[in-house]
Amino acid sequence: MINPFLNRLSNPNEDRLIEKLINLFMTSGKKAKSRAILYKVLLTLPVSVTSAVENVKPILEVRKVRIGGKTYEVPALLKAQRQETMAIRWIVQSAIQERKRHNTIARCLITEIVNASQRKGHARKKREDLHRKAEDNRAFLHYRWW
């Protein structure tokens, strides 16, 4: 399929992010419908998807480790691919949650991407909450062995 947004997508990194966004946005295997909605979003989007994903990407995550019958939440660094996937997943989930207030999922996705590029919104809040949780549990960092 020829990409109608070839002019808009100048770098391959953005194209890869949009493909990942299409795949994470897809439900029940309806990729064509997901692609159509996302292309409609890209036509009206005033900001770059890359900047939105960069602002939402988490650096740390919290993993559960069981030691001596107790479960500790240990902070761990994330690989770049997992950072992108989590950021896109959070943006999509936030748009789906916001759908209750707006008419269409496309409008919600536009709003969430714009908010993420401005370092606002639910996806950015999830990132900050995760980083705060990792910082609170940094005392258990010595339990990390992976």
- List the domain boundaries for the chain: 34-143
pLDDT tens profile 1-40: 445 554 454 566 788 899 999 999 999 999 999 999 999 9
Q: Are 45 and 113 in contact (CB under 8 A)?
A: yes
For residue range 84-133, what is the model confidence (pLDDT) as tens digits?
999 999 999 999 998 887 678 999 999 999 999 999 999 999 999 999 99
Q: What is the pLDDT of residues 42-55, one digit of tens each?
A: 999 999 899 999 99
Q: What is the pLDDT of residue 2?
A: 47
The third-level CATH classification (topology) of the domain covering 34-143 is Ribosomal Protein S7 (1.10.455)
Taking the CB of residue 106, how many other CB atoms lie within 10 A of it?
A: 21
Q: What pLDDT is attached to residue 71?
A: 96
**pTM over 0.75, yes/no:** yes
Three-state DSSP class for 74? strand
Cα–Cα distance measured from residue 77 to residue 70, given in angstroms and rounded to the nearest whole number: 22
Average of per-residue pLDDT across 58-85: 96
Regarding predicted confidence, which is higher, 7 or 135? Answer: 135
In this prediction, residue 99 carries a pLDDT of 87
